[in-house]
A and B are shown apart, each in its own frame.
Chain A
Amino acid sequence: MKAFSLLTLSFWLLAVLLGHAIGLNPNQIDLNAILQWPSLQHWLGTDDLGRDILARVIRGVEVSFLVTVVVTAVTMTVGLSIGLVAGYKGGRMDAVLMQLTNIFLAFPGMLLAIAFAAVLGAGINNLILALCLTGWVTYARLSRGQSLALRQRLHVLAAESLGASSLRVMSLHIFPLLISILLVEAAYSMASVMIAEASLSFLGLGIQAPNASWGAMLRDAVRFMLVAPHYVLTVGVCMMSLILAINLGGDVLRDKLDVRSEG
């Protein structure tokens, strides 16, 4: 499992780097070669505008990774800060925050992200914004719960009685014990951010043509499914391998880091 995960992730990383090195052009249109089956020239065939599917898949990985990393970094930082302060300080601020997260959690799955993306308009920036607006909630709840438990720990009480400021206690005494759990959560949620990005692009709300993205490619691929079934199959298999690898990577990370989960 571990080997598969590492192998797949490094395979895609290498593909992206190689793609740039040899100047792969995912937007090169060739109307004489549309919807071709895999061949020596085009390893995964061509799409409806004669563009090389492999090149577009590789660019899609890059875009997908970029969105996922940005969204995960932003939501984790924001969620962590909010949750940490709420859990440590408690009181009215905590109550308000919990009510706010409850409201966000009332929208199932990607519904709110879809709604935000719909009103903000398409494009990669708005896509990232929509995913960030909805993604911080889980991190906030997780770090709030953890810091609620951790603030009763002896070392925290000791630091407090020595006169350490709240900021110091939070950043030096609670945060280090939180971070591993949050990282595991982040590893898993990267897969769902990736799916969310592709879903929004699939619905036409994310990355816009002619830029390559898995969601948009699948959307095209479904339209041409009857004449070019390899298109939908290859894009899907590539995407699944990456999501699976990230999930399994999350498992590995959890086993490695989750020593203190009873905290």
Chain B
Amino acid sequence: MIKRFATLLPVVFGVLCLTFALLHLVPGDPVDVMLGESASAADRTALKAQLGLDQPVLVQFGQYVMHLLQGDFGTSIHTQTPISQLLWQAYPATLLLAVVALAIGLSIGIPLGIWSALKAGHWQDVMITMLSIRLAAMPAFWLGPVLMLVFAVWLGWLPVSGMANAASIVLPAMTLGLGLSAILTRMTRTSLLEVLNEDYIRTARAKGLSERQVLLKHALRAALLPLVTIVGLQMGSLLAGAVITETIFSWNGIGRLLVDSIEKRDYPVTQACVLVVAFSYVLINQVTDVVYRWLDPRTRGAA
């Protein structure tokens, strides 16, 4: 286990380098860009010192890493609050949104996928496939507004945006979850169809098990296993997709914080958001890998 995580070190280091480099990719002087033309010389020097930009690059990088190790993400230029505080407020909201979206995706995607596979070739299968292809082609920045228009504006069932009450999460989570469900439907269908062709399914049927038992006890277990990896990978797209969805629905998560910071040219906050999402993604993928190895009898114990 420790060994697994040790192999991550180069990636973690690389991610740190890349996020650190972001500030240095700003064309011209980042201080000028952030403060604008009219800033006084004293303000410039102060910000330069705050960001450590008056130091040699290697020293800057060393300080950046050292501060991060102590949980210090720096200070927001715009509000002068510690960035870690902003992240603490925003991260749980994004996580909640991602988890609810995942739940929606799974609870729609898997049953539809199973149904589609069982009816392979019939009109139900064709309908589901057509629907999921269309859903997958719908980017969040269109699906979101359309859901908002229909359910919040026309029908008035749900709040338009914000996070005032529990119902506020439904629309943003649907926006993320429906796209995910389309992917999961197709994956479940393919995977289940593959498994249903295996010899042991024929054996199970031959020994007189009911279709229900064959499906639940023999086929689904094997068919749903590859989905663990897909879900892990998709969790990352959920985190990234949240950038757009949170902006549309004024959901105060990491994504909105990121977009806000970009608009205000608050680059330290931008860097911190990018870093946190990337690290979450790396971590989720590792956990997925471990869970997969543990679930799959063929690789159990090899982890």
Contact = CB atoms under 8 A, between A and B. Distances in A.
B27 interface: yes
Contact of A116 (B25, B241, B258): B25
Interface stretch (A51-59, A143-151, A175-183, A202-210): A202-210
B21 to A, nearest CB: 9
A93 to B, nearest CB: 16
Nearest to A108: B236
A119 B153 contact: no
Contact of B262 (A99, A107, A198, A205): A205
A222 B10 CA distance: 42
Contact of B244 (A106, A202, A236): A202
Given A107-B274, A203-B247, A236 B15 contact: no
A106 B281 CA distance: 7
B198 interface: no
Nearest to A251: B133
A67 to B, nearest CB: 15
A197 B164 CA distance: 32
Contact of A108 (B10, B25, B136, B237): B237
Nearest to B247: A203
Binding site secondary structure of chain A: helix
Contacts of A118: 262, 270
Contacts, number: 129
Contacts of B23: 119
Interface stretch (A42-50, A83-91, A156-164, A237-245): A237-245
B281 A218 contact: no
A259 interface: no
B86 interface: no
A103 B243 contact: no
Contacts of B243: 110-111, 114, 203
Binding site secondary structure of chain B: helix
Interface in B137-158: 137-142, 145-146, 148-149, 153
B83 to A, nearest CB: 15
A109 interface: yes
B199 interface: no
Interface string B230-273: 00000011011101100110000000001100110001001000
A205 to B, nearest CB: 7
B285 to A, nearest CB: 8
Given A120-B27, A229-B149, A106 B11 contact: yes
B26 interface: yes
Contact of A99 (B10, B244, B270, B278): B10
10 contacts: A110-B243, A111-B274, A114-B243, A116-B25, A202-B141, A203-B247, A204-B263, A225-B149, A240-B137, A243-B139
Interface of A: 99-100, 102-103, 106-112, 114-116, 118-121, 191, 195, 198-199, 202-205, 215, 218-219, 221-222, 225-226, 229, 232-233, 235-236, 239-240, 243-244, 247-248
Lowest 6 CB-CB distances: which A-B pairs, in order? A103-B14, A108-B236, A109-B240, A236-B142, A118-B262, A108-B240
